[in-house]
Amino acid sequence: MIYINVLTSVSSLGTNELTIVDSLSHTDRCYLTYRDDLLNEHKGSYFGQIKAKLPRLDEYPEHKSRNSAVLAFLADSIKDSINELKQKYSKDRIAIILGTSTSGLDETENELKKFMQTGVPSRDFYYKSQEFGDPSMFLADYLEIDGPAYTISTACSSSARALICGKRMLESGLVDAVIAGGADTLCKVPINGFNSMGVLSHERCLPFNKNRAGINIGEGGGLMILSKKKASLELLGVGESSDAYHVSSPEPSGAGAISAMKMALDDASLTTDDIGYVNLHGTATKLNDAMESKAMASLFKGKVPCSSTKYMTGHTLGAAGIVEAAILCYLLKHDLDLPVQDFSHDEIDDTLDECGLVKEKMKAKKKVMMSNSFAFGGNNASIIIANA
């Protein structure tokens, strides 16, 4: 059994458990912020923003990026638990596994702009901060931990797969504890990339709504301490697949998504009847919502409540897996109402397969929940978390 001993997250929902739980209790509020300074030609959109005061990291110049600052903020919030972990186990028996899709890309973009204007490289810029491995290297340095440390970058499934790898590493006996999670922050390159693909909405995103126009981008992060030490929350099952259908579009039938969900159920020795809620990937693009509703209808037959929370957080890209896994933990821990799918601005898309979307306040009848993260290239991940 693999347990979630400690968790922390940050997103537009809040900067700590108390504020996030309050936000999840009021899903009718808008948690996204309108900005016109991130898209080319000063077009506007809504973004999920972290409003915490982040560490400056002046002592870590080679790792200095907003993503690293988010990870430091999260680590500081559970510092006592991490110190206890280091005292209980040797430093080489603790692993750090993170997910990201941007690492220090935003800082590199800013440096390139300066260089193109001046022709002189900045003395305080280190290219290694852009490398995908840097978040884990930074956190290992920051926490003085010597165990396995690596970063996964599989686009929007990155931090979900960090949890999957953490579970398997513990089951293998390679380490005694894993700090798993990830972070992604607002960055003009992916924001404008999604806009050029025609899948970024300039209004608030509306998953599964009839007139949905695409995604909103958000920033966020989270960390979980996983171990075999019994706790109130259990990482019960994990599953992943790669349908490799298209570089950016999901496989229309949902076969890869179904495969990942089935694997997670098998890993947890559960059936679809055991699941009380599914947090959908639900990006609000035409293709993703159509695929996921089809997959959910095929596997769960519309009998299990489900919804997407991205209209509150935005799509946090590589951090989506950990941000939404944390949401499951808060729902279970505090027995919250399930997040209602927002149809206050538009009607439901009745061309989609009936998949059990939550349309009014309700509690989960079973305290076992699944979260889906589906990424570019058909990289699919599903995790199951339960009250132990």
Alpha carbon 316 to chain centroid distance?
6
| Cβ proximity of 32 and 216 under 8 Å | yes
Query: 253, exposed or middle or buried, with CB in 10 Å at 0-12, 13-18, 19+?
Result: middle
Does the annotation mark 187 as catalytic?
no
Tokens of 177: 């504890």
Residues 6 or more apart whose Cβ sits within 8 Å of residue 120: none
Residue 114, burial from CB neighbour count under 10 angstroms (0-12, 13-18, 19+)? middle
In three-state secondary structure terms, 321 is helix
As given in the structure block, the two tokens for residue 368 are 């076992």
Q: Which of 310, 335, 253, 320 is nearest to 287 (CA)?
A: 253
Instruction: Give the separation between CA 370 and CA 372, rounded to whole angstroms.
Output: 7
Which of 63, 165, 187, 315 is the catalytic position? 315
For residue 281, indicate whether it is catalytic.
Answer: yes
Query: Which two three-digit tokens encode residue 262?
Result: 């089935």
Cα R_g (the chain), whole angstroms: 20
The residue type of 82 is: I
CB 93 within 8 A of CB 177: yes
Residue pair 18/8 in contact (Cβ under 8 Å)? The answer is no
Q: Which is the catalytic residue, given 281, 306, 329, 355? A: 281
How far is 51 from 387, CA to CA, in rounded Å?
30
Of 341, 316, 342, nearest to 47 by C-alpha is: 316
Q: Is 156 a catalytic residue?
A: yes
Q: Active-site residues: which are they?
A: 156, 281, 315
